[in-house]
Structure 1
Amino acid sequence: MKYSSVKIARFIRRPNRFIAHVIVDNNEEIVHVKNTGRCREILQEGAMVILEEAKNTGRKTKYSLIASYKGDVLINIDSQVPNLVVFDGINEGKIKEFREVTQLSKEVIYGNSRFDLYFESNDQRGFIEVKGVTLETEGIAMFPDAPTQRGCKHIYEMIKAVEEGYAGFIFFLIQMKGVNYFTPFEIRDPEFTKALRLASEKGVTILAYDSIVSEDGITIGTPVEVRLC
């Protein structure tokens, strides 16, 4: 996945979930943040960030903040790209668990949820729910960075789908390179962690892959170990 026009800027502050103040081209600019999560560990004053220039010239903000450096590591924080990265990864045969897929669709309704992807292969059909992961501490990738009732709802719906004969996958796309393993952030959201562990026990497959991140793009990387306990 490639961004058409990007610029490097310096992060100043984030007064709310939707906007941030940055220095770009020696001017202070208010930009849209393409992630409503906390991202406090990433968006620190002085951090070098990546902006995407908006195609819509009538928009209030000229740029969107899509990525940030944390030390030497570039982390993509665009919450709109994980589904596309996984979708493209499956279509390009880069995700080993889905190399036999014969049909792939986006945004499919099941029960009271809308799963990110639906797939069919020669021997199964099922759903994939994609979660973008931007939180990393000492080489450990974690999700979520804030409590998510919606995330829990998706997990319980996925359990139901598996019980009704579908294959079910929760796919954590880690939007960076260099992590050692993935684990749910139990202290931040114990209910999500409980639901994810139950899903694994009930036959839902939990996957994690990292990403190859550049200043103007992001693509699927390689599998990352998942630790649920």
Structure 2
Amino acid sequence: LGTDFVCVDTALPNRIVGEGLRAGQVPGLEGYTEVRSEVPYADKSRVDFLLTGGGPDLYLEVKSANFCRTAPLVEFPDSKTLRGARHMADLAQMVALGHRAMVFYLITRTDCTRAGIARDIDPAYGAAFDAARAAGVEVLAMDCNITPQGITLGEVRSVNP
């Protein structure tokens, strides 16, 4: 039997993604020269990361995904999230203004290799996700390498909307 790990520390996903962005380890985002975190944007929001220099500005929101009902599928959200739905609308607004925008699902458990939207848990978030995608918001999921020694970005994984 193998050992699976789950990261439940809500502060770590942004650190992991930030380190990966700055090290050029996120496929498709390697060309940006500046990565800033917690940048105010939209109406009373802060984007997790703003990437500039190397293409259109990219507004990136990180979502930690560790809720699993049946492996290998991890789902987001694990509860209702008005804030999460607002973030999707904010990202869509950035696309409408001519920028790139992306939601990044970080799979923070080692027994899951796919991400999905838990529409039954939060139908409003599901609708906001659909509207954002229709508006041009990009979606990316990556898993993590989790060991007792640390956590690093892993591989790109599929997202089942």
Normalised to the residue count of structure 1, the TM-score between the two structures is 0.67
Q: CA deviation at 1:111?
A: 1.8
* 1:160 aligned onto 2:98: no
Find 1:81's aligned residue among 6, 9, 12. 12
Paired positions, count: 158
CA–CA distance in structure 1, aligned partners of residues 104 and 30 of structure 2: 15
Residue among 60, 68, 78 paired with 1:145: 78
Q: Which residue of 2 aligns with 1:124?
A: 56
The superposition leaves residues 107-146 of structure 1 with CA deviations (integer Å, 9 ceiling, x where unpaired) of 0000221110000132211210001011122211100111
1:201, distance to aligned residue in structure 2 (A): 1.1
Which of the numbers 202, 207, 219 marks the counterpart of 2:152?
Answer: 219
**Deviation sequence 1:120-178 (CA, Å, 0-9, x none):** 13221121000101112221110011100010111101100110011100000010223
> For 2:125 and 2:25, how far apart are their aligned partners in 1?
28
1:180 Cα offset (Å): 3.4
* Deviation string, structure 1 residues 90-123 (Cα, Å, up to 9, x no partner): 1111111211011110100002211100001322
Tell me the amino acid that sits aligned with residue 29 of structure 2.
F
Aligned match of 1:206: 139
Change (3 A) 1:89 1:141: same
Give the match's secondary structure for 1:173: strand
Equivalent residue, structure 2, for 1:169:
102
Match in the other structure for 2:122: 189
The RMSD of aligned alpha carbons is 1.2
| Higher relative contact order (CA closer than 8 Å, sequence separation 6+) | 2
Tell me the distance in 2 between the aligned counterparts of 1:173 and 1:180: 11
What TM-score results when the alignment is normalised by the length of structure 2?
0.94
SS of 1:74's equivalent in the other structure is coil
Q: Percent identity?
A: 28
More helix by share: 2
Instruction: Say which one has the larger Rg.
Output: 1
The secondary structure found in structure 2 opposite 1:76 is coil
1:71-92 per-residue CA deviation (whole Å, 9 max, x = no partner) reads 8311111100111111100111
The one of 87, 91, 101 aligned to 2:22:
91
Cα distance in 2 for partners of 1:180, 1:116 equals 23
What residue ranges of structure 1 are gaps of 5+ in the alignment? Answer: 1-70
CA distance in 2, matches of 1:184, 1:129: 15
Q: Does 1:135 align with 2:54?
A: no
2:30 corresponds to which letter in structure 1?
R
Q: Is residue 38–residue 48 contact of structure 2 (8 Å, CA) maintained in 1?
A: yes
